[in-house]
Amino acid sequence: MDSIELLRDFSADYFEARERFCESANAVGAELVRYPITVDQSLSIDVAIVNARASRQRLVVSSGVHGVEGPLGSAIQLSMLRMLHQSELPDDLGYTLIHSINPFGYAHHRRWNEENVDLNRNFKCSSNTYSGCPAGYKNFESVLNPKTAPSRLEPFRVKAFWNIALHGVQAIKEAVATGQYEYPQGLFYGGRAECFSSRIVRENFHTWMGESDEIVHLDVHTGLGRFADYRLLLEYPPGAPAVAWFRELFGRPIVEDGGSHPTSYDARGTFGLWAMADQASLDYRFATVEVGTHPIVRVLAALRAENRAHHYASSSSDIEWARQELRECFCPTSPKWRRKVLADQMKVVQRCAQQLKKAVGNRSEVVGSC
């Protein structure tokens, strides 16, 4: 795939991305299902299902759980649909592409959803409740969530560097990003109850998997890690079969399991933990794709400024600069970044598809027909 084509797969905004996704899904004969969100019916989660009943092996790619991170996931999905159209991906596999799980966040350039909720802290397994807050978060709360409009002159980055020097980057990540359920206007808020998007996913996930019972699922995120580098973050314990499967394909440095934390951190209520429990009876492997952008302090400063602007800014110019910086932090405008990360991720997709295709050969039994 040439680099001009890859650059074109990044859409200008949510609406363009959704339109292109649906057109491309129709072109390959996918089943297309739309779920408009309650607060704004012009926004929707869209799901394309290819070979719903013809294959026991399925590759799932989901995008936009963290709205503003949607552009890369959407570009990957668009590239996949074009490759399917050009027979550059195995056509005897099933594919499920879940477009923009948080459409409000994607459309409004927010990581959070219409209720200020971080959806990746809102998927609940039965043992979890929507309550609690890490002690570390409480210590940082007033610094993270000032109840005033943001200022471009404020020395947040200096303070953040000082805190990181004092406590270490991992301690800050664990304290801040693992999720909290006590500050509804704060960063990384997991909500009081299941949100619309989480419910739609929970109620329909089985249907989206068609008749497949061997599934690899890549959930695409950006904003954490070295610029234009990527990791596959697994929430399985070390030694789990899924860890071995991903490690064999991608090698140890790329694949981080639940016991290693160079890029990842433990979070509650994640999409992955929920999906792994929900699909436990199947051969189901979930990985969070995390693609690095700018340094963590810049990303955190951008999240903090945008959240303040959303809740407290009175001038549209304050909101606009905060949003623009947030977009840059989660999908850099650099053509070099865009070309590299999309080319890398298409290799990840192709490698997963080829590995699943080997299983098609081993298990020739086909369920139903398309």
CB of 160 to Zn ion, least distance (A): 19
CB of 224 to Zn ion, least distance (A): 7
The residue at minimum Cβ distance from Zn ion is: 221
Give whichever of 94 and 190 is closer to Zn ion, judged by the CB atom. Answer: 190
CB of 319 to Zn ion, least distance (A): 22
Give whichever of 63 and 279 is closer to Zn ion, judged by the CB atom. Answer: 63
Instruction: Point out which residues pair with 216 in neighbouring strands.
Output: 59, 285
CB 70 within 8 A of CB 16: no
φ, ψ dihedrals at 276, nearest 5°: -60, -40
Rg from Cα positions in the chain: 20
Close Cβ partners of 346 (under 8 Å, ≥ 6 residues apart):
1, 6, 76, 79, 80, 83
CB of 322 to Zn ion, least distance (A): 18
Interface residues with Zn ion (CB under 5 A) are 66, 69, 221
Closest C-alpha among 66, 125, 56 to residue 284: 56
Give whichever of 93 and 224 is closer to Zn ion, judged by the CB atom. Answer: 224
CB of 370 to Zn ion, least distance (A): 33
Give whichever of 220 and 353 is closer to Zn ion, judged by the CB atom. Answer: 220
Closest C-alpha among 173, 179, 171 to residue 111: 179
Q: In b/e form, how buried is each residue of 300-321, taking b as 16+ CB within 10 angstroms?
A: bbbbbbbbbbbeebeeeebbeb
Give whichever of 50 and 232 is closer to Zn ion, judged by the CB atom. Answer: 232
Give whichever of 20 and 111 is closer to Zn ion, judged by the CB atom. Answer: 111
For residues 150 and 104, give the distance between their C-alpha atoms in angstroms, rounded to a whole number: 22
CB of 139 to Zn ion, least distance (A): 23
